[in-house]
Each structure stands twice: as structure tokens, then as C-alpha cells.
Structure 1
Amino acid sequence: MPRPSSNPSAKHGPVTLATVARRAGVSPQTVSNAINSPDLLRPETLERVRQVIDEMGYRPSRAAQTLRSGSSRLIGYGIQPTPPGTAGAVMDRFLHALSDAADEAGYRILLFASPPGGPSLDGYGELLAQHEVDGFVLSGTERGDPRQAWLAKRGAPFVGFGRMWSGRPLGDWVDVDGAAGTDAAVEHLVALGHRKIAFLGWERGTSGAGDDRAEGWLRAMRRNGLPTRGRRGQSSVNDIEAARAGAAPLLDGGATAVVAASDVLALGCYRALRDRGLAPGRDVAVVGFDDSPTAELLSPGLASVAQPLEDVGRQCVRLLLARITAPDAPPERILLEPSLIVRDSATAPPAADR
């Protein structure tokens, strides 16, 4: 036999602001103040009203709040389909971190579909026209991205997870210092005794983040006086099989260690090593980037550069809300430091030195 519901709305209809006010013995305006302007109430009154709100399970109408405040308390985020074989789990972690940070600030993330094939304006104009969001978080901010200039022209608040990489810098952004990450990976390998350290990345000029990570490798190699000629391999896309082909000349050229621009590229390097009867970690050290969930599941575990995605999410929300509050304030840009997670793929000196 079904148990009776303890939810007051099940017995007496929907819980409204007026019913909460009657239960708490205060005016509807006092309940509204408890939700929207708690600093206006005496502590004991605020506590009593909040207790009744919790007991009755009252949830304010978002539509009514939007009409009163002019704010939807929604942040738009265009999500693109993730092709097979790419590091979609990294963006999933970012989206989770972004949602947590928005929740803490009293906002929600509104997802809308963006078409595949790079950033587009689809969806942004419709949401702005209908006043459904207070601002946007952008990711995948690569060269030629039209969104920043389009949103800035319309006075729409936005923040980017990633730099613009080309053209006149616009808006606020939060990014991870990819060059610092690959620099740290090279220094770790040098400390193990490696000198023939290769880099496996994307084609030059196709990805700002990819070029940034390549620059960190190059910087560290030059600082240590190590040769770079013939040590840079390329993969046209973030795809395991393409990376497998891109790693082949590096391994055939005698590299004792490979720093990859992503964990997907590192996995391609694993396959290229096994094609040659070699073992990652034992015969050639491998370091990835992103510290995806796959990294610690591989055998051997993949050393990887971890992005501080929780901090990225928090900072994106903070900058966006600051921009909503002060539209004319100078832009703020934050570059966060990644960290190298050492695992068995990068703990041994070159095989010839053992």
C-alpha cells in the first residue's frame, strides 16, 4: 500500500510564497527578502523564515525572479559533439566543475547544442533575443573564432576557457599554461637522464593550445642545450591512429622519451611502441597532457600534465559574474599553472644507461 507523502504540497496544493509567509507568521515581502535580500532581516527572523522554507520545500519561481530582477540566473554554454577517439572526458570534467561553481553562486548552466566543425554563432543569438541567459562561457576559443567579437558588439557578458590566440584580445578569459606543463615534463625527463626527448603534437598553426604546449617543450630543450632537429612529430587530428603514425618517425629516429600534447596522442605513441616490440616506460618514456581518466588505467600508468579544471570552473564563473556586475571594467585574464602527475611511463632513465 503506498505510503502517504510528507510533502505539504501533496496535501494542500503547491507551496507558494504566501503559504510560507502564513506558516512563518510574517508578510510575503519578508519571505521575499529572506530569499533575495537576507541582509535586510534580523537574524532571528531570517532563521525562522529559512526553516519554514526548508520544511515546506518551497522553491521560488524562476520566471517570477527573472521578471523582478531582470536576471535569469542562467549561464549559457554551447556544447559540441565529441568525435570518437578524442579527449572528451577532459571537457566533461570542466563542465562538471563549471556547474558546481555556478551552483555555489546561485546560478545554473544552460546547455545548448553547437554544430560540429568549430565554433559558430548558432544558438547564441536566439538565447540573447529571448533573454534566457545572463552571459556565456566559451570553450574551444581557437583562431578565427567569431563568437567573442560578436558577443562584445552586442554587450553580452562572456568569459572564455582559453585564450583567443589571434587578432585583438577581447573579453575575460581563464586558461591553463600549457607551455609551463610541457616545460615541467621535459625537466622531469632530463633529471632522469634523457637527452633525446621528442614532442608529438598537432600541426603547427592549427591549435593555439597545441602551439603553446610545443613552445614549452622547445623552451626547455633549448635551456638544457638539447637538440630539437628531427624531434618534433605531428598528428593532423587528436586521434589515436593518426598519433600512432605521427610517433613512428620519432621512435625510429632514436627518441628515448616522448612528450605528447594530449593523452590521446600519448596513447597513439603507446601503440607505435608496441608495433616495434617496445614497452612504454621500460624502453621509451612517455608523458601525456590532460591527465584524463584513461591515464591511470593504462599499463603502464601514463604520466601526464594535469589541468586544474576545478579552479578553471571557479574562475570562469567569478569573472563572468564580475563582468555582469561591472560591464565596463577592464578585462581580466588568468593563466593557471598545471601540474605533472608522474606514473610508471616516465620513471626510468634511458634504456642504454641501465
Structure 2
Amino acid sequence: MGEGENVTAGFREARPSLAQSVTISDVAEAAGVSRQTVSNVLNAPDRVRAETRERVTRAIADLDYHPNHLARSLRASSPRMIGCRILPVHAETVAAIQDRFLHALTEAGQECNHHVLLFAAADVAAETGQCTALWRAGAVSGVVLYDITQDDPRPGRLAAAGVPFTAFGRTAASTERYSWVDVDNAAGSASAVDHLVAAGHQRIGFLGWPEGSSVGDARAHGWLLAMDRHGLLAGSHRLDVRGDDTTTSGTTLMTKLLNKPGPPTAVVAATDTLAVGALHAVRDHGLYPGRDIAVVGFDDSPAATALDLSSVRQPIEEVGRLVMAEVLRLTGRSPGADGEPPAEPLHRLLAPELVVRASSTPLQGSTPAGLDPRSLRL
């Protein structure tokens, strides 16, 4: 963020009353610069142009801003902790991904002599409140955000409060204003479609979540784009079914597809949870995964390995390493840091990897058993 750049409206809050403490973000907004520029004026004024330095100094005086030296001192002597909320688990896939991420984050922190402080919170409002309180008390050097949604308020709120953070995931807007690492979910679904087309499939269904989830929508979009790229989009809307991320829902959705006129010969599921449910439906219909109908999941959970299910694997270990490195950089505690961290946030989109197993073996030109060959016409 440039030193003369205004803070976006999404990150602005009302000017504080006299009864409220003035923050560095208030000064940045009043001066029309970034928080980093205000910090430079206070700690390394030689880095800032004279005219900008004068504008910031005037805003500091007008707002009667006093840096919280106590909090700064506490953070300097903090127990080298990074805060992260642990989410309630509603599905096996969610548990597996969260567990892998927290392990990767913890291992990356330990390599830099830092530890992860896990805490629970009822909702995102409580989470941002706890993150801010922990940071201001000097209990953590920074925080990590997990499970970001399209209109997630947490990045804006933490930025306004001055809390150093890095996110796993990104919002739909203002992503340039904070550091994030994300997985290209659309590319993952598209790679599954490409694999199935190469195996001889043309009628490829999709089992997904209801619209509104950034991750779920991205995975559905990848399926749609790949189907269009292969010229298979006509009539594919009938093969796109959505439901909750449970095995029961996966069974119900797959049963609905198998009972349609012209059922699919393959399906891509938004999660392994849905894919496991789909496998139940396939077997309930007397069909065999891979031979009669191909099934591909997403997340490569332990269930995928156990059931020989093809699945898209997220590079969670790399995500954890990058997220930890970035939050430490932002706190000025990364190895080799020389004081103020650079102002440019990290934006990294990682490609997932398709792991092919028996559930999606090639058709090799044969007609799937148990399906009417006439139903394969588009």
C-alpha cells in the first residue's frame, strides 16, 4: 500500500468520540495514508517524504493520538504466540482439512520458535473481539484467519484495529488490502473434469453445496468452465445438484442423478463427504465405482484413501507454511526481519493436485454396465 494511498471505504470506521481511544488506523484515515506510513512517521521518519510526514504529524496532533507504549512493550516481550480460532466441526472433511492446516501452521511456527494459541469463539464477531483483545494485551504477536467467506467482515475489522493477520482464503472484494493464501478451487474441479473427459466420459455431473459459499461456488464454477471448454455444457444444468455437506445428502443427490433420464457416467463432488455419499448410492443401484460410473471427490481426506476414491488434494502444508511466514513478517518477527515489515501484502493462489484412484478408472470406450447406451446421447 503506497504512502499516499487512501484507505478504502470497506476498511473505514467512524471517527472516534472523545470517550474512545484513538488508534493508528484513525490517524491513517485522517491523513489519507496507510497504517504503515503512520508507523514509519513514528518510528522511522526518514523513510517518509517531508510533505507526507507533515500531514501525518498534523493528524496525530489534531486527534491527540498517543501510541500505546505499554501494549507495544508487552508485545515485544510476548511468548511468541500466534492466535487462531478453532472452528466447530460439522463434517468429516472439514475436520480433516482443519486438522491438517493447524498441524502445518504449528510445525511452521515451531521452526521459527513460535507457537499457535488456539481459542474458541461463537461467531466471527466474537472471534475478531478476542483477536483484538489478545493482541492488545500482548498475548499474541499476530493472528491467522481461517475459513474466509465472500463477504467476511474479519479482515476489515482486524485491519481497522491494527492487528497483524494473515488469512487462509480471501473475500470477494478488497483482497488487495490484506495478506492471504488461498487454493485455486476452480482449477481443482476443472482438473477432475479434464481427467474424466480423457477417460471417455461426456455426461459428467456435479454434487455441490448451495450457492453462497466462496469455496463451494468456486468449485462449482470450475466444473462449469471445464464442461464448457470441452463442449459438454448443453444439458449439463440437469446434472448439477446441490445440498448440505453430509454423506446422507451426497447419497440423496447421487440417487437423484442416477434416476434421471440420461444419467451421468461420472460425477465430480465438491467434497469427499459428498463423494462418499455418492459411492453409497452407486452401490445401492448395483453399480461399481470406476467400472460403471466414475466418482471424484475434493480434499483428499483419509476417507478418500480408505475407499480408493479419486480426489483433489489441497496443498495444505504449503498453505500453513506460507501463512505462518507472512504473519511473522507482518509482526516483524520473521527470521532476518529488520524492524518494520514491508507494506506490500502477500497474495498467493496455490494449485491443487488430482490424486487418481480406482473410483475413476477409464471407460476405455466401453458402455458403463447397468446404463442404457441410448441415455449417453446429449
User: Under TM normalisation by the shorter chain, which class is it?
Assistant: 0.7 to 0.9
Deviation at 1:72, TM superposition (A): 3.4
Indicate conservation of the 8 Å contact 2:93/2:301, yes or no.
no
Report the identity percentage: 45
Q: Does 1:149 align with 2:156?
A: yes
For each residue in 1:48-75, what CA deviation from the matched residue of structure 2 results, as whole angstroms up to 9, or x when unmatched? Answer: xxxxxxxxxxxxxxxxxx8593443110
Report the alpha carbon displacement of residue 320 of structure 1 after superposing the two structures with TM: 1.0
Worse-superposed segment, 268-277 or 307-316? 268-277
Q: CA deviation at 1:85?
A: 4.5
Q: 1:328: how far off?
A: 6.1
Correspondence for 1:123:
130
1:112 aligns with 2:119: yes
Task: Structure 2 unaligned segments of length 5 or more: list them.
Answer: 1-72, 333-339, 370-378
Between the aligned partners of 2:353 and 2:257, the Cα distance in structure 1 is: 25
Change (3 A) 1:67 1:84: closer
Is the contact between residue 74 and residue 137 of structure 2 (CA under 8 Å) also seen in structure 1? no
Given candidates 283, 289, 293, the residue that maps to 1:274 is 283
1:140/1:276 Cα in 2 relative to 1: closer, same or farther (>3 Å)? same
> Are 2:272 and 2:298, in contact at CA under 8 Å, matched by a contact in 1?
yes
Distance 1:179 1:68, change over 3 A: closer
1:132–1:118 distance in 2 versus 1, CA, 3 Å: closer
Q: CA deviation at 1:178?
A: 0.7
Give 1:176-191 correspondences, 5 Å limit.
176-191=183-198
1:228-307 equivalences under 5 Å are 228-235=236-243, 237-253=244-260, 254-298=263-307, 301-307=308-314
Question: What residue identity is the alignment partner of 1:343?
Answer: R
Instruction: Quote the Cα distance in structure 2 between the aligned partners of 1:118 and 1:125.
Output: 11
What amino acid is the match of 1:304? Answer: S
SS at match of 1:101: helix
TM-score by length of 1: 0.75
Task: Decide which of 214, 230, 236 is 2:220's aligned counterpart.
Answer: 214
> SS at the partner of 2:116?
strand
What is aligned with 1:132? Answer: 139
Listed as ranges, the gaps of 5+ residues in structure 1 are 1-65
Tell me the amino acid that sits aligned with residue 238 of structure 2: G
Greater mean deviation of Cα atoms: 318-327 or 136-145: 318-327
1:91 aligns with 2:105: no
Q: TM-score, normalised by structure 2?
A: 0.71
2-structure distance, mates of 1:161, 1:171: 11
Q: Do the aligned residues in 1 keep the contact of 2:150 with 2:170 (CA within 8 Å)?
A: no
Supply the distance in 2 between the matched residues of 1:124 and 1:146 (Cα, whole angstroms). Answer: 13
Deviation, 1:260, is 0.5
RMSD (CA atoms): 2.2
